[in-house]
C-alpha cells in the first residue's frame, strides 16, 4: 500500500443496512475543515471550535448547487484522543447507500481522499495508537466472514495475543536477568537462581510458546478457510451440494452430465468454520476438449485440497469409476457424501468400504436439504473436535506471527538445552535474546532490556 | 595574531583529559592540556583499581587504539586478576589493583615526554565563541588562549560540591577547588546541564587493621597484562582482604539513617545504582544479613587502605561507628572520611558520536562531564574526543566506532542516543555482540584502525596482523586434526565430566564440549604450543563458540544495514506526520544519523520507526535519483 500519511482520508465506515444508519468517517488534519464545507448546522452552528467528542445536528448539502443531501448527526473528535490519533469527523446519516455514496463524493470533492482498505488502522498504528498485533487484528475484523474469525480478531484487538506474549516475554526476561547478573556481577556477593530453577523457568516458557504456536494451524484455518473440494462422477449432484451448503443457487445445475466445466470457488461458513469450497467438473473420460481440461483441473484440485468431499449418487450402483476415484483421494480427512438420499438407496452402497483417510460418511439430499446439517456437523468435528469456542484464548491467525512464534519456541528450546549442557551464561543469553526479539516483533515493541533495572532491583549490587 | 594559539585544547587532566591530549598530540596536533593543579594529574579519587567486567574490555580497546591507560595500569599494578575465569572465556575481563601514586607519576612522565603537547596549570572560566563556533578559553588568571577544537574533560569539577553529613562545601574533589563559571559559560552556549552525585568510602590506616578476621584475596599466579605491548607483569603482588559487615554495623547505619544525605536531601541528583552507599544497601535490602567489604591497598608506599563496599557520606562520627562494628576494622583509624560529591554534567544526547556538542561546533566533551562514572569509561571517551578533535583540525572524516566494533562504540552510542538518568557504567550486557567484542581479540579488532589514525606504529600493527593470521590458521587446523578414541583420551573426558568417544573425532569438536578447555586438548594438537596464552584464548573462543560467533556475525550484517540507512541531518521531525509527540521531541533532540540509531532512541517505538521509514521512502521516491 502506498501510504501518504499527512492528508485527510474518508470512507464509509459501516456497511449500510436497509434504511439503517451509516457513517462516513474522515481522519486527518483537515477533517473538520472539509466536513464544514458540506455541512449546515442547525441554527447556524459550526463544527470549527466545537469541543472534542461532541455531536451536532444539521444537514449535508452540495456546495456546487446548494441542494440538501441528507439530515445528519456529525461528531467531532479531536487529536490525539481518537482512534487514529488524528482529528476525526464522523457523519452519521440515515439515507441509505445512495446518500452515503453522495456524501463520500462530496467530502472527496472538498479535499478528502478516499481511504484505502485498512488505512484508518494503518494510521492508528503509525501514530502509536495500536500495537502491530492489534492493527493486524483490525484488518482481520474488516475481512472476517465468520463468527469464529471475528471472535479471534476481536480478542486480538483487545490485546489478548499481546498480553499473552507479554507474559511469556516477561518470564524470559526474568531468566535473562539471572544469566546476565551471573556474568556481569560474578565478582559480587549475589546468589543467582540454581540451574535447575532456570531450566524449569525456560521449560515452562517453552511449553507456553509451543502451545501458542500450535493454535496457529487452527488459526490459519480460521483466517484463510479450509481448502475444500467437492468431487465425484458427473451428475452425482456436486453443484447441487455446493448450492445446498451455500443456501443459494450459485452453480448451474442440470440433468445433463458434464455441466460443470470449470472450478467454481465460494467461501462459506459451516458452524463458524470458514470453508473455501470448490465445485469441480465431474470426473470421466471425455473427448470434449473443454471437458478434458475441466477434468484435469478436478484432478489437480483433489491433490491440493485440505478436505475432499467425495460425492456419489446413492441411488445408483457403486461403479468401478467410483472406486477408482475413492483411491485417488489422498486428503486427510476426506468425507464420503452419499447424495440423493431422497431416492431409494442402491444395495451396493451400504457395503462400500472406504480408505483410511475417509473419516466420515454422510447421507444427504442436496435437492431437499436433508442431511446437510449432519454434513456440516461432521466437518466441524473433524477440524475443531466439537470445540470452536476460542474466545478465551490467544490464537495465532497470522502467518507472520506463526513464524515468529515458531522461531522463539525453537530458540527457547535451544536455550534450555544449552543450560542443560552447562554452556556458559553468555551463550545461553545470546539465544534467549533472539527469542525475545522475535516476540517483540509480534507486538511491535522492543521487549527492551531493562535487564539491568531488574538486576539492580533483585540483587544487592555494589561492593 | 600575537595570541597563544593551539590546534587542540584539552581542559582537565584526569583519565579522559590525558588520553585526549595524548591522542591529539600523537596525531600531530599542537595541543595544550590545562589542569587546575599540575600536582593532580591522572588521579584516582575513588577505588585503587582499573578494569573489571565490561571495564576491562574498554581498557584493552583503548590500548589497541594506541591509548595509554593499559600500559599505565600494567606499570602501576600491584595485583592482577582475570575475572569470569570460570565463566565462558568470551566474557573474561581483567582487573588490576594499582598503586595510585605510581599511576599518576608514570602518566605525568608520558605527558611530559610527548611531542606537540604543552601542559599548563589554570582554571578555565569561560569558553570563547566566535561566529557560533569555539574560539578559545579564558582562564581565571586572565590568560586567554585560542583554538578551534576544544575538549572539556573536567570530571566532577563543574560546580562541584562535597557532602559529609550536613557539611556541604564547594570542591571538585576532597581538598580541591571546584571549577566555577565554566558551567554558566556552557549554559550560555545553549547546552543543558543536569546534576549527578557519586560517593567514595573512608580510607583507613593499614597498621590499625586486624587481618586475622579477614580473608586474603590474591592476584593470579601468572597475571595477564592489559596492554598488548607489555611483555611481562611478573612482579611482587599485594593481597587485598575480604571482611563482612555485621548486624551491629547495620544497626548503626539504621539508627543514623536520618542523618544520611540521601534522607536529608543534602545531595540531590542521581547516583550510580551499581555502586550504592552502604546506607542505601541497608535501606533497599534490609533482609540481607551482611555485605562484603574489600580492603584494598592504595599503593606500596602508603598505609591508606580503601574500604570497597562501605561507601558513605554519613557524618564522620557515624562513619567511625560503622567501622568499629565491622569485624577486622574495630580499631581502624580513619585517614580520610568517605564523602559524596555532587556535580554538573551535560546531558550526553546533546553530543554527536564524535563527542562534539551539537550546539557549539568544535567543542567536545569527554568523561564524567558526560554523565558517566569510572576511569575506564572516561579514558575511552577522552581517546575518541581527542582523535576527533584532531581529525577536525586536519579536515579529515570523523572517527566513530559502532556497536558491533567495540565496547567503546556501545558506550558512546548509548550516551548520545539514549542519554543517561544515572551515572553510566559499562556492563557486558549492554553489548549485543558480546561474543565478538572480547578482551582477547581487542587488538585484532581495532589495531588496524589505530594504525590508520597514526596511533599504532607499523611494527606493532604488523605483529598483530601476524597474530591474527596465526590464530585463524590454528583455529582452522583444529577442525581438521582428527584423533582416534584412546583410553588416555577417554580417561581425560570422564575426568572432566563429559562422555567418552568411540569414533574418530576432530579436536575442535572436543573443544566445543562445555567441559573441555583448551588446556585439556593441547597434547592432542601440538600446533597450539606455538601460541601465547592470549592467542590460545582467541582460538579457544573462536572454536568453542563458532556457531554462536557466526550467528552474531550475521546479526551484525543486519545491524549494519539499518545503520547505513542514513537520515538527513536537517530532517524536520515536527513536520513529520505519524510520529508520536514524544518521538518527535526525542528525535529532534538526538538527531540520529541513521535509522538504526533512531530505533535505539528511548521513547521511540517501532511504530515511529515505521513512520520514519515511510517518510524516507517517500522522499526518496520524490527526489530524482
Ligand atoms: N433426487 C435428487 N436429485 C438430485 C439431488 N442432487 C442433485 N440432483 C439432480 O442431479 C442432477 C445433476 O445435478 P448437478 O448438481 O448438476 O450434478 P453435478 O455433479 O454437478 O454434475 P456435473 O457438473 O455434470 O458433473 C440434477 O438434475 C439435479 O437436480 C438429490 O439429492 N436428489
Ligand atoms: Mg456440476
Write out chain B residues lying below 8 Å of A127, CB-based. 578, 580, 607, 611
The C-alpha angle with vertex B269 and arms to B268 and B271, in degrees rounded to 5, equals 110
* Cross-sheet strand order for the sheet of A264-270: A264-270, A273-279, A226-232, A307-313, A334-339, A358-363
- Quick check: A183 and B87 CB within 8 A? yes
Domain shared by A61 and A91, yes or no: yes
Domain shared by A226 and A365, yes or no: yes
Q: Residue A218: its pLDDT value, please?
A: 67
Compare A400 and B195 and report the one with higher pLDDT: B195
- Quick check: B611 and A80 CB within 8 A? no
Q: Residue A451: its pLDDT value, please?
A: 66
Number of A/B CB contacts below 8 angstroms equals: 124
Give the number of the atom of ligand 1 that is nearest the alpha carbon of residue A235.
21
Mutate to test the interface with B, among A128, A428, A458 (most CBs of B within 10 A): A128
- Residue B144 to residue B192: CA distance in whole angstroms: 25
B392-406 confidence digits (pLDDT tens): 999 999 999 999 999
Contact A119, A193 (CB under 8 A): no
Length of chain A (residues): 463
- Residue B357 to residue A431: CA distance in whole angstroms: 38
Nearest to B431 by CA among A197, A134, A451, A102: A451
Q: Which residues of chain B from 91 to 110 reach within 8 Å of chain A, CB to CB? A: 91, 95
* Residue where a domain terminates, one of A117, A151, A185: A151
B13-47 confidence digits (pLDDT tens): 999 999 999 999 999 999 999 999 999 999 999 99
The set of residues, in sequence order, having a beta carbon less than 8 Å from that of A417 and lying 6+ positions away, is none
CATH number at residue A106: 3.30.1360.120
Q: Name the least confident of A191-205, B230-244, B359-373, B502-516.
A: B230-244
pTM over 0.80: no
Q: Which of A229, A231, A236, A237 to mutate to test the pocket of ligand 1 (most atoms within 8 A of CB)?
A: A237
Q: Residue A363: its pLDDT value, please?
A: 96
For residue B123, report the distance from its CA to the centre of ligand 1, in Å: 102
Write out chain A residues lying below 8 Å of B311, CB-based. 462
CATH number at residue A369: 3.40.50.300
Query: Residue A448, Cβ neighbours under 10 Å: how many?
Result: 12
Q: Residue B27: its pLDDT value, please?
A: 98
Q: Domain count for chain A, please give it.
A: 2
Q: Which of A430, A445, A449 sits opposite B552 (nearest CB)?
A: A430
Q: Which three cell numbers stand for residue A377?
A: 456437523
Taking residues B570-589, what's their average pLDDT?
A: 83
Residue A407 lies in a domain: yes
Q: Which of A3, A183, A422 sits opposite B91 (nearest CB)?
A: A183
- Quick check: B428 and A426 CB within 8 A? yes
Give the number of the atom of ligand 1 that is nearest the alpha carbon of residue A339.
31
Mean of the per-residue pLDDT values for chain B?
Answer: 91
* Interchain contact B498–A (C-beta under 8 A): no
Residue A87 lies in a domain: yes
Write out chain B residues lying below 8 Å of A79, CB-based. none
Residue B158 phi, psi (nearest 5): -65, 115
Domain shared by A316 and A339, yes or no: yes
Domain shared by A283 and A396, yes or no: yes
* Percentage above 90 pLDDT, chain B: 68
Ligand nearest A257 Cα, by number? 1
Q: Residue A2: its pLDDT value, please?
A: 33
- Residue A315 to residue A332: CA distance in whole angstroms: 26
Query: Residue B458, Cβ neighbours under 10 Å: how many?
Result: 8
Burial of A287 from C-beta contacts in 10 A (0-12 / 13-18 / 19+): exposed
Q: Residue A452: its pLDDT value, please?
A: 67
In order along its 463 residues, chain A shows pLDDT tens digits of: 334 457 899 887 765 344 456 788 999 999 999 999 999 998 888 998 888 888 899 999 999 888 888 888 899 999 888 888 889 999 988 766 677 778 888 998 898 888 776 677 767 766 666 666 666 666 666 555 555 666 666 666 556 777 888 889 889 999 999 998 888 888 887 888 888 999 999 999 999 998 888 776 666 666 677 889 999 999 999 999 999 998 888 888 888 888 888 888 888 877 767 788 999 999 988 888 888 888 999 999 999 888 999 999 999 999 999 999 999 999 888 999 999 999 999 999 998 999 999 999 999 999 999 999 999 988 888 876 544 444 445 666 666 677 788 889 999 999 999 998 888 899 999 999 889 888 887 776 654 446 666 666 667 666 5
Q: Residue A391: its pLDDT value, please?
A: 42
Domain shared by A112 and A165, yes or no: no
For residue A329, what are the domain limits?
Answer: 155-463
What are the structural domains of chain B? Answer: 3-48+107-201+343-431 (3.50.50.60), 203-341 (2.40.30.260), 471-551 (1.10.10.1800), 565-622 (1.10.150.570)
- Quick check: A184 and B551 CB within 8 A? no
**H runs (alpha helix) in B137-259:** 182-188, 247-256
Q: Which of A123, A422, A431 sits opposite B514 (nearest CB)?
A: A422
Q: Which of A233, A235, A340 to mutate to test the pocket of ligand 1 (most atoms within 8 A of CB)?
A: A235
Q: Residue B29: its pLDDT value, please?
A: 97
Residue A2 lies in a domain: no
Q: Residue A77: its pLDDT value, please?
A: 92
Band of residue B329 on the pLDDT scale cut at 50, 70, 90: very high
Q: Residue B61: its pLDDT value, please?
A: 98
Residue A368 lies in a domain: yes
- Quick check: A187 and B52 CB within 8 A? yes
User: If DSSP codes are grouped into helix, strand and coil, which group holds residue B454?
Assistant: coil
Domain shared by A138 and A265, yes or no: no
Write out chain A residues lying below 8 Å of B91, CB-based. 183, 424, 426
The C-alpha angle with vertex B415 and arms to B410 and B418, in degrees rounded to 5, equals 100
Nearest CA, atom 10, ligand 1: A237
Contact B343, B157 (CB under 8 A): yes
Ligand nearest A338 Cα, by number? 1
Write out chain A residues lying below 8 Å of B578, CB-based. 5-6, 123, 126-127
- Quick check: A430 and B294 CB within 8 A? no
User: If DSSP codes are grouped into helix, strand and coil, which group holds residue B18?
Assistant: helix
Q: Residue B415: its pLDDT value, please?
A: 96
For residue A354, report the distance from its CA to the centre of ligand 1, in Å: 23
Both ends of chain B: CA-CA distance in Å?
48
Q: Which of B54, B88, B610 sits opposite A184 (nearest CB)?
A: B54
* Residue where a domain terminates, one of A151, A167, A193: A151
Domain shared by A78 and A184, yes or no: no
For residue A95, report the distance from its CA to the centre of ligand 2, in Å: 41
List, in sequence order, every residue forming a beta bridge with A334; answer none if it has no partner: A308, A358
Domain shared by A367 and A255, yes or no: yes
- Residue A166 to residue A171: CA distance in whole angstroms: 9
For residue A146, report the distance from its CA to the centre of ligand 2, in Å: 26
Residue A299 phi, psi (nearest 5): -65, -40
| ipTM over cut 0.90 | no
B91-119 confidence digits (pLDDT tens): 999 999 999 999 999 999 999 999 999 99
- Residue B221 to residue B234: CA distance in whole angstroms: 9
Domain shared by A189 and A144, yes or no: no
Taking residues B479-490, what's their average pLDDT?
A: 91
Q: Which residues of chain B from 210 to 269 reach within 8 Å of chain A, CB to CB? A: none
* Residue where a domain terminates, one of A132, A151, A170: A151
**Which bin fits B172, alpha (ψ -120 to 50), beta or left (φ > 0)?**
alpha
Domain shared by A127 and A141, yes or no: yes
Domain shared by A452 and A438, yes or no: yes
Q: Residue B295: its pLDDT value, please?
A: 97
Domain shared by A247 and A143, yes or no: no
Length of chain B (residues): 625
> Ligand 1: which residues within 6 Å by Cβ?
A 232, 234-240, 253-255, 257-260, 281-282, 339-340, 342-343, 365-367
> Number of C-alpha atoms within 13 angstroms, CB side, residue B46?
22
Band of residue B337 on the pLDDT scale cut at 50, 70, 90: very high
DSSP letters for A160-183: HHHHHHHHHHHHHHHHHHHHHHHH
**CA distance, residue A273 to nearest chain B CA (Å):** 33
Query: Residue B165, Cβ neighbours under 10 Å: how many?
Result: 22
For residue A244, report the distance from its CA to the centre of ligand 2, in Å: 13
Amino acid at each position: 500500500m502506498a501510504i501518504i500519511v499527512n492528508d485527510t482520508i474518508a470512507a464509509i465506515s459501516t456497511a449500510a443496512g436497509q434504511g439503517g444508519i451509516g457513517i462516513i468517517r474522515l481522519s486527518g488534519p483537515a477533517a473538520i475543515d472539509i466536513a464544514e464545507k458540506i455541512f449546515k448546522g442547525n441554527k447556524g452552528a459550526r463544527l470549527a471550535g466545537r469541543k472534542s467528542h461532541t455531536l451536532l445536528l444539521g444537514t449535508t448539502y452540495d456546495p456546487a448547487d446548494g441542494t440538501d443531501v441528507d439530515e445528519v448527526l456529525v461528531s467531532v473528535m479531536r487529536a490525539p484522543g481518537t482512534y487514529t490519533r488524528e482529528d476525526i469527523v464522523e457523519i452519521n446519516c440515515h439515507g441509505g447507500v445512495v446518500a452515503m455514496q453522495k456524501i463520500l463524493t462530496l467530502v472527496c470533492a472538498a479535499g478528502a481522499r478516499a481511504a484505502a482498505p485498512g488505512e484508518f488502522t494503518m494510521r492508528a498504528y503509525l501514530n502509536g495508537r495500536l500495537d502491530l498485533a492489534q492493527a493486524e487484528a483490525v484488518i482481520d475484523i474488516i475481512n472476517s466472514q465468520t463468527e469464529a474469525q471475528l471472535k479471534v480478531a476481536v480478542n486480538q484487538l483487545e490485546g489478548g495475543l499481546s498480553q499473552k506474549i507479554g507474559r511469556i516475554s516477561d518470564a524470559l526476561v526474568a531468566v535473562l536477568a539471572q544469566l546476565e547478573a551471573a556474568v556481569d556481577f560474578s565478582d559480587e556477593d549475589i546468589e543467582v537462581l540454581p540451574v535447575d530453577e532456570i531450566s524449569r523457568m525456560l521449560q515452562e516458557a517453552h511449553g507456553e510458546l509451543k502451545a501458542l504456536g500450535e493454535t496457529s494451524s487452527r488459526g490459519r484455518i480460521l483466517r484463510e478457510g479450509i481448502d475444500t473440494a467437492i468431487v465425484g462422477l458427473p451428475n452425482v449432484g456436486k453443484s447441487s451440494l455446493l448450492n445446498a451448503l451455500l443456501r443459494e443457487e450459485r452453480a448451474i445445475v442440470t440433468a445433463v452430465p458434464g455441466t460443470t466445466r470449470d472450478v467454481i470457488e465460494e467461501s462459506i461458513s459451516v458452524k463458524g468454520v470458514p470453508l473455501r469450497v470448490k465445485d469441480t467438473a465431474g470426473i470421466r473420460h471425455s473427448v470434449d476438449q473443454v471437458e478434458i481440461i475441466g477434468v484435469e483441473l478436478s484432478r489437480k484440485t483433489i491433490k491440493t485440497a485440505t478436505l475432499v468431499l467425495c460425492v456419489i449418487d446413492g441411488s445408483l450402483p457403486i461403479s468401478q469409476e467410483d472406486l477408482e476415484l475413492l483411491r485417488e483421494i489422498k486428503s486427510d480427512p476426506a468425507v464420503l457424501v452419499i447424495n440423493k438420499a431422497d431416492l431409494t438407496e442402491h444395495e451396493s452402497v451400504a457395503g462400500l468400504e472406504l480408505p483410511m483417510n475417509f473419516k466420515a460418511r454422510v447421507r444427504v439430499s442436496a435437492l431437499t436439504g436433508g442431511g446437510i446439517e449432519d454434513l456440516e456437523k461432521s466437518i466441524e468435528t473433524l477440524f475443531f473436535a466439537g470445540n470452536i469456542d476460542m474466545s478465551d484464548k490467544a490464537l495465532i491467525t497470522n502467518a507472520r506471527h506463526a513464524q515468529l512464534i515458531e522461531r522463539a519456541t525453537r530458540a527457547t528450546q535451544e536455550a534450555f538445552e544449552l543450560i542443560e549442557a552447562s554452556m556458559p551464561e553468555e551463550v545461553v543469553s545470546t539465544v534467549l535474546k533472539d527469542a525475545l526479539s522475535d516476540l517483540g516483533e509480534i507486538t511491535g515493541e522492543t521487549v527492551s532490556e531493562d535487564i539491568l533495572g531488574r538486576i539492580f532491583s533483585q540483587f544487592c549490587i555494589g561492593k | 595574531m600575537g595570541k597563544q594559539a593551539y590546534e587542540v585544547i584539552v581542559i582537565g587532566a584526569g583519565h579522559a583529559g590525558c588520553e585526549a591530549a595524548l591522542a591529539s598530540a600523537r596525531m600531530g596536533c599542537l595541543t595544550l592540556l590545562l589542569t587546575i593543579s599540575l600536582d593532580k594529574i591522572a588521579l584516582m579519587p575513588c577505588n585503587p583499581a582499573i578494569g573489571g567486567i565490561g571495564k576491562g574490555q574498554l581498557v584493552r580497546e583503548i590500548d589497541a587504539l594506541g591509548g595509554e591507560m593499559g600500559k599505565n595500569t600494567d606499570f602501576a599494578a600491584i595485583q592482577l586478576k582475570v575475572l569470569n575465569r570460570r565463566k565462558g572465556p568470551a566474557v573474561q575481563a581483567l582487573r588490576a589493583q594499582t598503586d595510585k601514586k605510581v599511576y599518576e607519576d608514570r602518566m605525568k612522565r608520558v605527558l611530559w615526554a610527548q611531542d606537540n603537547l604543552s601542559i599548563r596549570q589554570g582554571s578555565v572560566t569561560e569558553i570563547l565563541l566566535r561566529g557560533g563556533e569555539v574560539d578559545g578559553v579564558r582562564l581565571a588568571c586572565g590568560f586567554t588562549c585560542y583554538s578551534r577544537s576544544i575538549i572539556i574533560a573536567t570530571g566532577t569539577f563543574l560546580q562541584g560540591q562535597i557532602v559529609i553529613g550536613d557539611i556541604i562545601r564547594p570542591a571538585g574533589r576532597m581538598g580541591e577547588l571546584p571549577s566555577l563559571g565554566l558551567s554558566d559559560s556552557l549554559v550560555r552556549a545553549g547546552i543543558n546541564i543536569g546534576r549527578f552525585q557519586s560517593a567514595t568510602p573512608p580510607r583507613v590506616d593499614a597498621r590499625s587493621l586486624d587481618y586475622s578476621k579477614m580473608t586474603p584475596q590474591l592476584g593470579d599466579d601468572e597475571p595477564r597484562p592489559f596492554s598488548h605491548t607489555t611483555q611481562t607483569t611478573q612482579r611482587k603482588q599485594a593481597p587485598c582482604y575480604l571482611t563482612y559487615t555485621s548486624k551491629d554495623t547495620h544497626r548503626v547505619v539504621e539508627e543514623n539513617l536520618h542523618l544520611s544525605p540521601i534522607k536529608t536531601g543534602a545531595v540531590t541528583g542521581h547516583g550510580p545504582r551499581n555502586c550504592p552507599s552502604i546506607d542505601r544497601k541497608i535501606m533497599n535490602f534490609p533482609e540481607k544479613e551482611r555485605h562484603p567489604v574489600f580492603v584494598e591497598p592504595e599503593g606500596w608506599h602508603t598505609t591508606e587502605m580503601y574500604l570497597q563496599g562501605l561507601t558513605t557520606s554519613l557524618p564522620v562520627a557515624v562513619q567511625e561507628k560503622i567501622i568499629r562494628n565491622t569485624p577486622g576494622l574495630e580499631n581502624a583509624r580513619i585517614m580520610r572520611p568517605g564523602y559524596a560529591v555532587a556535580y554538573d554534567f551535560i546531558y550526553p544526547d546533546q553530543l554527536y558520536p564524535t563527542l562534539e556538542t551539537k550546539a557549539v561546533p568544535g567543542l567536545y566533551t569527554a568523561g564524567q562531564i558526560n554523565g558517566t562514572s569510572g576511569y575506564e569509561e572516561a579514558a575511552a571517551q577522552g581517546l575518541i574526543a581527542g582523535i576527533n578533535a584532531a581529525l577536525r583540525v586536519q579536515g579529515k572524516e570523523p572517527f566513530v566506532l559502532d556497536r558491533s566494533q567495540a565496547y567503546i562504540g556501545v558506550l558512546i552510542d548509548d550516551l548520545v542516543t539514549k542519554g543517561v538518568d544515572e551515572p553510566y557504567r559499562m556492563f557486558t550486557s549492554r553489548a549485543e555482540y558480546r561474543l565478538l567484542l572480547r578482551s582477547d581479540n581487542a587488538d585484532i579488532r581495532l589495531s588496524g584502525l589505530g594504525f590508520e589514525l597514526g596511533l599504532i606504529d607499523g611494527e606493532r600493527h604488523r605483529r598483530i596482523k601476524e597474530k591474527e593470521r596465526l590464530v585463524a590458521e590454528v583455529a582452522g587446523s583444529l577442525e581438521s586434526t582428527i584423533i582416534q578414541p584412546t583410553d588416555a583420551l577417554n580417561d581425560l573426558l570422564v575426568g572432566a565430566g563429559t562422555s567418552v568417544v568411540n569414533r574418530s573425532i576432530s579436536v575442535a569438536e572436543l573443544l566445543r564440549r562445555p567441559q573441555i578447555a583448551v588446556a585439556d586438548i593441547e597434547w592432542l594438537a601440538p600446533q597450539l604450543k606455538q601460541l601465547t596464552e592470549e592467542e590460545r584464548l582467541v582460538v579457544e573462543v573462536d572454536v568453542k563458540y563458532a556457531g554462536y560467533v557466526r550467528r552474531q556475525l550475521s546479526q551484525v550484517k543486519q545491524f549494519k544495514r539499518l545503520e547505513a540507512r542514513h537520515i538527513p541531518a536537517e530532517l524536520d521531525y515536527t513536520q513529520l506526520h505519524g510520529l508520536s509527540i514524544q518521538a518527535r521531541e526525542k528525535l529532534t533532540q538526538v538527531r540520529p544519523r541513521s535509522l538504526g540509531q533512531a530505533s535505539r532512541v528511548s521513547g521511540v517505538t517501532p511504530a515511529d520507526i515505521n513512520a520514519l521509514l515511510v517518510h524516507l521512502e517517500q522522499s526518496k521516491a520524490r527526489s530524482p535519483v
